[in-house]
Amino acid sequence: MSIKFGTDGWRAIIAKDFTFDNVAKVAQAHADHLKENNGKKIVIGYDPRFMSEDFASVVAEVFASNGFHVVLSSSVCTTPALSLAAKELKADEGVMITASHNSYRYNGYKIKGGYGGPATPEMISSVEKKIGNSEIKLGNTSWEEFDFNKLYIEKLKSYIIPQIFNQKPEKVVHDPMYGSSMGLLNKVLEETLIDVIEINHYRNPFFGGHHPEPIEKNLPLLMGKVVAEEALVGIANDGDGDRVGIVDEAGEFVSTQLGYVLLLLHTIRNKKTEGAVAKTVSTSYLVDRICEKEGRKLYKTPVGFKYIADLFLRDKIAFGGEESGGYGFGFHIPERDGLLSGLMILEMILLHGKSLTEIIEDVFKEFGTAYYKRIDLKVEGDQGKLLVEKLKKEPLKELAGFKIKETDLTDGVKFIFDNDGWVLFRASGTEPVLRIYIEMPEKSQVDLILEESKKLIGG
């Protein structure tokens, strides 16, 4: 079989392609890549998926047998905890055994840089080219174990203002979705007046029967629990803890676009973090308005946090992220961090002394309203790709009665309307799916654009 890395690591079905032999093969190629670059130290972490710790041990054995100083996590950890360890422990690179938000059938191999963020395309390409080129070295089972979570928790504690969390007793509900952020928010806030109520917080390799992805359809229990407990907010994290989903005090899911906007405002206004802002092409127009008002330079990239992480390495970035709920902070590492994102939302609520609903209303008053929807439309064969190519060659002049003022081809085809609203068409490169993203000033306009967009492909 051919082993290929996607946008965020190599992922495959356990026991079919994600086997001990194939993981060892990838680890050997990774070791060869690091030796070529005079690397000497590697850190390895893993999530609570089926046999993740065993796959991590295989990776550790390969690197140890190749003469590396190996530091293996002493327990399940999040991806941002592994990335932080790579930087703090001065490793050359890191490996995270996880399939993130994919279903329980999958596991994966993520490569991290010693700077504490996603591997660059050059690093990935170097490893891919070496897969299967040399004999796998095994036999050395001696390596160091380290508590990455302890390091991570102390770092998160250093970012918050303790007094804000000690004004009066309040409740927050945390849903780690059976993933690697289990118990961590509790530990960060253990010396405060905040009562963290956890749900779905034990190891379940089946993730309760759904993907560990913090999107609205997967969070009915969190939405109900927030209301039942009269909590300030609900925070959900994906399987490896690098993404976040937010539920307001009324039990309503807060769109990931608004999550970006809220965290951006908190980071630059309340945390006073200096630097530019980075967003993907599928992120809210409110970001443009905020950057214009705040005098911040704004970078726009294709979809994928790797492009945001690259900007963190090349320039001073205050905040960056994407519409999928993955956000990075300039005062942290160049990595998505779902737990830190939830913590910052909570800090913002406490600092303002208002409900999340009220804070969002204030944002809308200052910068205008914005409503968002995304659908992943299953199509026949190459229908999605063909539509995107057609729209590139023959851009629309209007859609559903809305005039198009600009076409953006950064990633897929994005049509921007006179009212700043937009629709983006992107075809999946791995499955017969057409992704349609829509943001408009009114909810009714979103549904109207969606229906007209589906007609373009006969949906």
Which CATH number covers residue 15? 3.40.120.10
Residues 162 and 123 in one domain: no
Residues 188 and 298 in one domain: yes
Residues 195 and 257 in one domain: yes
Residues 93 and 128 in one domain: yes
**Domain count within the chain:** 3
> Is the residue at 1 inside a domain?
no
Range 40-55 average pLDDT: 98
pLDDT tens profile 148-192: 999 999 999 999 999 999 999 999 999 999 999 999 999 999 999
**Strand residues in 326-458 grouped as ranges (E):** 327-329, 371-378, 398-399, 402-408, 413-417, 422-427, 433-440
CATH value at residue 414: 3.30.310.50
Cα angle vertex 189, ends 186, 192, to 5°? Answer: 130
The interaxial angle of helices 338-352 and 356-367, nearest 10 deg, is 90
Partners of 320 in the beta sheet?
278, 328
Average pLDDT, the chain: 96
Range 22-31 average pLDDT: 98
CA 232 distance to own-chain centroid: 23
**Closest among 255, 249, 242 to 228, alpha carbons compared:** 249
What per-residue confidence (pLDDT) applies to 428? 82
Residues 52 and 77 in one domain: yes
pLDDT tens profile 282-309: 999 999 999 999 999 999 999 989 899 9
pLDDT tens profile 398-407: 999 999 999 9
Edge-to-edge order in the sheet of strand 371-378: 371-378, 433-440, 422-427, 413-417, 402-408, 398-399
> Is the residue at 234 inside a domain?
yes
End residue of a domain, out of 90, 118, 151: 151
What per-residue confidence (pLDDT) applies to 431? 77
What per-residue confidence (pLDDT) applies to 457? 84
With contact defined as beta carbons under 8 Å apart, do 267 and 318 qualify? yes
**Closest among 342, 334, 375, 356 to 245, alpha carbons compared:** 342
Is residue 459 over pLDDT 60?
no
Is residue 450 over pLDDT 70?
yes
HSE-up of residue 24 (Cα within 13 Å, Cβ side): 17
pLDDT tens profile 419-437: 999 999 999 876 789 999 9
Q: Token pair for residue 364?
A: 């809308």
Read off the pTM.
0.95
CA atoms of 178 and 199, how far apart (whole Å): 9
Higher pLDDT, 324 or 287: 287
> Is the residue at 5 inside a domain?
no
Residues 27 and 70 in one domain: yes
CA atoms of 14 and 100, how far apart (whole Å): 14
The residue segments making up the domain with residue 302 are 152-367
**Strand residues in 144-267 grouped as ranges (E):** 144-146, 170-175, 194-198, 233-237, 244-247, 253-254
Range 4-24 average pLDDT: 92
Question: Which 8-state DSSP code applies to residue 268?
Answer: I
> Is the residue at 210 inside a domain?
yes
pLDDT band at 28 (very low <50, low <70, confident <90, very high): very high
Close Cβ partners of 426 (under 8 Å, ≥ 6 residues apart):
282, 303, 388, 411, 412, 434, 435, 437
pLDDT tens profile 62-93: 999 999 999 999 999 999 999 999 999 999 99
> Is the residue at 4 inside a domain?
no
> Is the residue at 83 inside a domain?
yes
CA atoms of 329 and 263, how far apart (whole Å): 9
Q: Token pair for residue 182?
A: 């289990």
Q: Please state which of the ranges 51-65, 69-83, 206-220 shows the lowest mean pLDDT.
A: 206-220
End residue of a domain, out of 125, 151, 177: 151
For residue 93, the SS3 value is strand
